Amino acid sequence: MEKEEGTENVQDEVSNQEGGSKEMSLEEQVAEFQDKYMRLYAEFDNYRRRTNKEKVELISSAGEGILKDLLPVMDDFERAIKNNENAEDIVSVKEGFHLIFNKFRNILESKGLKPMNSKGEIFDSELHEAIANVPAPSESEKGKNLDEVEKGYYLNEKVIRYAKVVVGQ
Cβ atoms of 80 and 96 within 8 Å: the answer is yes
Conformation bin of residue 112: beta by default, left when phi > 0, alpha when psi is -120 to 50 = left
69 phi/psi in degrees, rounded to 5: -70, -25
User: Who's near 157: CB < 8 A, 6+ residues apart?
Assistant: none
**pLDDT at residue 91 tops 60:** yes
Give mean pLDDT, residues 65-76: 93
Residue 30: pLDDT band (50, 70, 90) is very high
DSSP calls for 109-141: HHTTEEE---TTSBP-TTTEEEEEEE--SSGGG
Look up the CATH superfamily of 113-169.
Answer: Head domain of nucleotide exchange factor GrpE (2.30.22.10)
**pLDDT at residue 93 tops 60:** yes
Question: What's the chain's average pLDDT?
Answer: 87
pLDDT value of residue 51: 96
pLDDT value of residue 23: 64
pLDDT value of residue 59: 85
Give mean pLDDT, residues 33-54: 96
Give mean pLDDT, residues 161-168: 94
Residue 79: pLDDT band (50, 70, 90) is very high
**What is the pairing mode between strands 145-150 and 163-168?**
antiparallel
**pLDDT at residue 7 tops 70:** no
Element (H, E) at 4: helix 2-60
pLDDT tens digits along 97-140: 999 999 999 999 999 999 999 998 999 999 999 999 999 888 88
**pLDDT at residue 19 tops 50:** no
Residues 158, 167: Cα–Cα separation, whole Å: 23
pLDDT value of residue 10: 47
